A = this chain, B = another copy of it.
Amino acid sequence: MMWFSSDNAGPAAPEIMDAMVKANGMYSAAYGADPIMDRVRDRIRDLFEAPEAAVYLVATGTAANSLALATLVQPWQTVYCHRNAHIEEDECAAPEFYTGGAKLTLLDGKDAKITPSSLQHAIDFTGRAGVHNVQKGALSITNTTENGTVYTLDEIRALTSIARAAEIPVHLDGARFTNALVSLGCTPAEMTWKSGIDVVSFGGTKNGLVGVEAVILFDPARAWEFELRRKRGGHLFSKHRYLSAQMEAYLTNDLWLDMARKANAMAARLSAGILALPEARLDHPTEANIVFASWPRKGHKAAQEAGAHYYFWPFDQSLDGPDDELLSARLVCNWSTTEAEVDNFLKTIAG
């Protein structure tokens, strides 16, 4: 089995399933009033050194991002993000839907990282004609990025300080938060509010959960608004305890960190292995659990014949053509990826 199509293709950790089964053994208050959620809230506040933070659970990353952004921006404002951001490319305009028609202003930067100058330039340009233009709304960055790279703390701060000067809040799309965290080797607080982040989509689904993302608002001023938006979006679960149980198990005994470390380690092994092939190259640095790499078509043919799952990146490449032409691919590892699986894949594409 060689599944590298996405981290959402893999299973949940056994500890997660156990926790759900255990949560099933009782009656409980609904809609987030379950006692497990009380513990989860405390645990997250603790981990993030943020005793006042508002903490909510939803089941999808699109919900987490869209609800967070809708709470931060008005319909006549714009969200600055990288032009390859998930909120721009992969959510079917959910942010536009949840915000009531705000814009996304697309920024440039190598390896899916926004450059400070592109952000500054876009902010300077916004609202130059007053009421005729959309207004400055929020900055949204993604860490781990869509290209599998990781913003350093300095890089984050370079962006958030521009946002701060422009008096706009900052959202972090952390669908792969933990992969970035263990890559950076810093604390959750350092990666977020200590570096200028106001609201976090703290993903779990791609890192071994069945389906849970936390939204953390370090400033609880708009917590009630968030709750109303969550309900109104159909994202408040009656049997919320099954979300709580997953998140509790996730944050117990460093399970979340261990799973991210395993995924990152497998990506590093895969990346190094590909790079060792003749004529292969990396398309983006491998800094978390995703590898973007190119190798000759014949290696892709062999992989497809062997039943390997992964995507060409960009999509519009073909197996038809000269054997030695390079084709680009995205390969995603998750906590359950094994060394044997990686090595088998490497052997396959080496021919």
Which A residues are closer than 8 A to B by beta carbons? 1, 3, 5-6, 8-12, 14, 17, 20-21, 24-31, 58-64, 66-67, 74-76, 78, 89-94, 96-104, 124, 128-129, 131-135, 205-206, 210-211, 225, 227-239, 242, 309, 315-316
Contact present for B97 and A233 (CB under 8 Å): yes
Contact present for A211 and B233 (CB under 8 Å): no
Copies in the complex: 4
Contacts of A59 in B (CB 8 A): 59, 237
Contacts of A8 in B (CB 8 A): 30, 238-239
Contact present for B92 and A228 (CB under 8 Å): yes
Contact present for A26 and B6 (CB under 8 Å): no
Contact present for A100 and B75 (CB under 8 Å): yes
Contacts of A63 in B (CB 8 A): 234-235
Contacts of A205 in B (CB 8 A): 238-239
Measured in the bound complex, the distance between the Cα atoms of B17 and A58 in whole Å is 20
Contact present for B29 and A9 (CB under 8 Å): yes
Measured in the bound complex, the distance between the Cα atoms of B100 and A101 in whole Å is 6
Measured in the bound complex, the distance between the Cα atoms of B133 and A228 in whole Å is 9
When C-beta atoms are compared, the residue in chain B nearest to A229 turns out to be B76
Contact present for B66 and A92 (CB under 8 Å): no
Contact present for A132 and B93 (CB under 8 Å): no
A4 to chain B, nearest CB (A): 10
Residue from B20, B24, B234 in contact with A66 in the complex, judged by beta carbons closer than 8 Å:
B234
Question: Shortest 7 CB-CB distances between A and B: which pairs?
Answer: A63-B234, A96-B101, A8-B238, A62-B234, A92-B232, A76-B228, A3-B27
Residue from B21, B30, B93 in contact with A75 in the complex, judged by beta carbons closer than 8 Å:
B93
Contact present for B31 and A131 (CB under 8 Å): yes
Contacts A8-B239, A92-B228, A93-B232; is A21 near B24 (CB within 8 Å)? Answer: no
Measured in the bound complex, the distance between the Cα atoms of B60 and A134 in whole Å is 18
Measured in the bound complex, the distance between the Cα atoms of B58 and A38 in whole Å is 26
Contacts of A102 in B (CB 8 A): 93, 96
Measured in the bound complex, the distance between the Cα atoms of B5 and A315 in whole Å is 47
When C-beta atoms are compared, the residue in chain B nearest to A70 turns out to be B75
Measured in the bound complex, the distance between the Cα atoms of B25 and A228 in whole Å is 36
Residue from B11, B62, B99, B234 in contact with A25 in the complex, judged by beta carbons closer than 8 Å:
B11
Contacts of A12 in B (CB 8 A): 24, 239, 242
When C-beta atoms are compared, the residue in chain B nearest to A129 turns out to be B90
When C-beta atoms are compared, the residue in chain B nearest to A98 turns out to be B234
Contacts of A225 in B (CB 8 A): 74
Contact present for A89 and B9 (CB under 8 Å): no
Contact present for A27 and B6 (CB under 8 Å): no
Contacts of A96 in B (CB 8 A): 75, 96, 101-103
Measured in the bound complex, the distance between the Cα atoms of B232 and A59 in whole Å is 14
Contacts of A97 in B (CB 8 A): 75, 100-101, 232-233
Contacts of A78 in B (CB 8 A): 93
Contacts of A64 in B (CB 8 A): 234
A226 to chain B, nearest CB (A): 10
Contacts of A239 in B (CB 8 A): 8, 12, 205, 210-211
